[in-house]
Amino acid sequence: MSGMGAAAQAGTPGTGAMRAMRGGGAGTPPPLMDPTRRRDGRRILALFAPYRWRLAGVCVLIALSAGLSMLNPFLLRSALDNGIFKHQLSTLWETCAGMVGVAFISNAFSVWQTYVSNVVGQRVMHDLRSAVYDRLQRMSLAFFTRTRTGEVQSRIANDIGGLDSVVTSTATSIASNATTVIAAIVAMLLLNWKLALISLVFVPPSVWMTRRVGKVRRTITTEQQRRLADLSALVAESLSVSGIMLGKTMGRGDDLAARFSGQSAQIADLEIKSRMAGRWLMGTIQFVFAVQPAIIYWLAGQSFVGHSIQIGTVVAFTTLQTRLLFPINSLLGVGADVEASLALFDRIFEYVDLPIDIIEAEDPVVLNPAAVVGEVAFSGVSFRYGGAGGPLAPGTEAPPPWTVRGIDLVIPAGTRTAVVGETGAGKTTLGYLLARLYEPQEGRVTIDGVDIRRVSLASLAATVGVVSQETYLFHASVRENLRFAKPDATDAEVEAAARAARIHELIASLPDGYDTVVGERGYRFSGGEKQRMAIARTILRNPPVLVLDEATSSLDTQTEAAVQAELERLSEGRTTLTIAHRLSTVRDADQILVLDRGAIVERGTHEDLLERGGLYAALVARDVPAEAAEPTG
């Protein structure tokens, strides 16, 4: 079976951090979240809640390190005033030994603190990635039809990756630097309160200027991530096998390279702009702090601070100022980084908060595929595209037309029903509604009388198999691709399914047999070979209800005949809904439905519909000469 069914049934990671991140509800995802919610720092702090005890340990280490750091200036003052100037050698030995001990213990605490903070940061990164991927797995097919693959990849890789340093070291860096600043200020006040007040007068304006810089950087970061998403989309589209083939056959390789180069240059310019944002302001702040020791030396000799300040006190004070310079600069820099990172959190939370429009029932019915009889019924089913079937987007003047409307249909167990009609008549949508890849706005779909909205997503995927016209193969071995339908299948079961799909001989002839890597999207294989692999996957899964979505439409007549024979064998004993492109493939169906603009306009057997001379007869008359004109090789 294709990967689409599995995409709707991934489990929810159970960490408290992910539960804290999630929002939900039905409806169309808004382009941006409520600004007041995006700025809610409590939500970001909730990411760290599951690791609060480890963080508490880090805080204890930080407090101990800060307390130890307060000893150094006092040891220095004693070493100068008593040990050196008064020649008290025992005091000099003790103070110097104390400095060495403080340095050793502080560094040991720092190493352990760095380890724990990195562990916590990487766990939070993991939670973010898992939450976004889990939410995307639970989105309906409609979301992916209107969202670029590169955009999705960029949210997971670029946006979350951009938070690495922030979530890994920022929290502990803030705590460490803040504690160091507080300890240094206390020590400065104890040494000389007048000099301390003069030194701290420049801090408030520095904080204000840093916040301004952070807001500018946040705006730039938002634009950077948007451009990175565009670049990721271009790479994903143009460097795929299909994209390379299109570029080469259309002679557009140079144009694509120029387009990539232009977007890359724009990102580089934005990066420079981000790094230089407020650089003069930050440089001014650093200059003010750097010249403060000179100011203190000058002030120490002035009468209004008194003449009793000893040289040891002045040196210890300026040493504290130097120690204060780094953490304050670090705090100001981190403040700007955190402000910029909010743009990344906005984009990540936007995906985490995507409303899920196909929701599993609170107490779902679990179907047993082996016990399912297979009677399928559509009762008054109507569906229209537009926000995955949810409410209309703001500003929409009129609802879009119904894709399918008023469908009443019963497919008896074990029978084959074919759906035909013009392109855009709603045939594929009907099949996807049965697989619950879309949710009808009106009516219901049942299997053995059970509304599929009450059925667990996992058991529904095991009950309804889908073979589509576009067979998707992962860049993995043949065995892994087949086993995707049934992860616990034995090698014997995999081989039996391949034999039943008439693909075993081909696989066995490959250099590595079932361990041969198929290449991206299976481009090493022909269309007919890939379809046989899709049939083998479905046989392995063995669903009692089958949807064949124009499974042979892209094949030539000769290959189609061979694959069609395999599909007919696959359909034996199963309830089958066949979406037909070529009418010759559905003549033996138990009933044929003719769709026109989403509604059933005719139904009956092949012979009955031909006798009526309606739309079906016209389609057959048009289809026969078209098939006769097709090449057979």
| Residue 468 CB contacts under 8 Å (≥ 6 apart), including other chains | 2, 4, 534, 549, 550, 551
What are the backbone angles phi and psi of residue 381, rounded to the nearest 5°? Answer: -80, 125
What are the backbone angles phi and psi of residue 301, rounded to the nearest 5°? Answer: -95, 0
pLDDT over 90 (residue 158): no
pLDDT over 80 (residue 331): no
pLDDT over 60 (residue 465): yes
pLDDT over 90 (residue 447): yes
Who wins on pLDDT, 197 or 1?
197
The ranges of the chain annotated as CATH 3.40.50.300 are 376-390+402-629
Q: Under CATH, to which class is 376-390+402-629 assigned?
A: alpha beta
Tens digits of residue pLDDT in 371-392 = 999 999 999 999 988 744 444 4
> Among 122-126, 317-321, 501-505, which is the least confidently predicted range?
317-321
Task: Give mean pLDDT, residues 290-294.
Answer: 68
- Identify the band that residue 188 occupies on the pLDDT scale cut at 50, 70 and 90: confident
- Identify the band that residue 6 occupies on the pLDDT scale cut at 50, 70 and 90: very low
Who wins on pLDDT, 244 or 72?
72
- Identify the band that residue 129 occupies on the pLDDT scale cut at 50, 70 and 90: confident
Distances (CA, A) of 213 to 173, 226, 277, 280: 19, 20, 7, 10
CA dist., res. 247 & res. 238, Å (int): 7
pLDDT recorded at residue 455: 93
Burial classification of residue 628, based on how many CB atoms lie within 10 Å of its CB (0-12 exposed, 13-18 middle, 19 or more buried):
exposed
pLDDT over 80 (residue 204): no
Kindly state the percentage of the chain with pLDDT values over 90.
13
Buried b (16+ CB within 10 A) or exposed e, 13-32: eebebbebbeeeeeebbeee
Burial classification of residue 262, based on how many CB atoms lie within 10 Å of its CB (0-12 exposed, 13-18 middle, 19 or more buried):
exposed
pLDDT recorded at residue 3: 38
Tens digits of residue pLDDT in 215-239 = 676 677 777 777 777 777 777 666 6
Residue type, 342: L
Q: Long-range CB contacts (< 8 A, 24+ apart) of 387-391? A: 387/27, 387/28, 387/142, 388/28, 388/140, 388/142, 388/143, 388/357, 388/438, 388/439, 389/140, 389/142, 389/357, 389/438, 389/439, 389/440, 389/441, 390/26, 390/27, 390/28, 390/355, 390/357, 391/27, 391/28
Who wins on pLDDT, 193 or 207?
193
Burial classification of residue 631, based on how many CB atoms lie within 10 Å of its CB (0-12 exposed, 13-18 middle, 19 or more buried):
exposed
Count of alpha carbons within 13 Å of 331, Cβ hemisphere only?
A: 18
pLDDT recorded at residue 413: 92
Topology annotation, domain 29-352: ABC transporter transmembrane region fold (1.20.1560)
Tens digits of residue pLDDT in 414-441 = 999 999 988 888 888 999 999 998 889 9
pLDDT over 70 (residue 364): yes
pLDDT recorded at residue 381: 94
pLDDT over 80 (residue 186): no
pLDDT recorded at residue 20: 42
pLDDT recorded at residue 531: 82
| SS (HEC) of 134-168 | HHHHCCCHHHHHCCCHHHHHHHHHHHHHCCHHHHH
Q: By the 8 A CB rule, do 229 and 150 touch?
A: yes
pLDDT recorded at residue 378: 95
pLDDT recorded at residue 411: 93
Tens digits of residue pLDDT in 617-626 = 888 888 765 4
> Among 96-100, 112-116, 209-213, 464-468, which is the least confidently predicted range?
209-213
Task: Give mean pLDDT, residues 484-511.
Answer: 88
The ranges of the chain annotated as CATH 1.20.1560.10 are 29-352
CA dist., res. 448 & res. 446, Å (int): 6
Q: What is the DSSP string of 230-245?
A: HHHHHHHHHTSHHHHH
pLDDT recorded at residue 332: 62
Residue 365 pairs in a beta bridge with 455
pLDDT recorded at residue 397: 57
Residue 396: Cβ within 10 Å count: 12
pLDDT recorded at residue 302: 62
Tens digits of residue pLDDT in 26-72 = 333 334 444 444 455 677 778 888 888 887 887 787 777 777 777 77
Q: By the 8 A CB rule, do 68 and 98 touch?
A: no
pLDDT recorded at residue 632: 43
Mean pLDDT (the chain) is 75
> Among 70-74, 475-479, 603-607, which is the least confidently predicted range?
70-74
pLDDT recorded at residue 93: 83
- Identify the band that residue 19 occupies on the pLDDT scale cut at 50, 70 and 90: very low
Buried b (16+ CB within 10 A) or exposed e, 597-625: ebbbebbbebeebeeeeebbeebbeebee
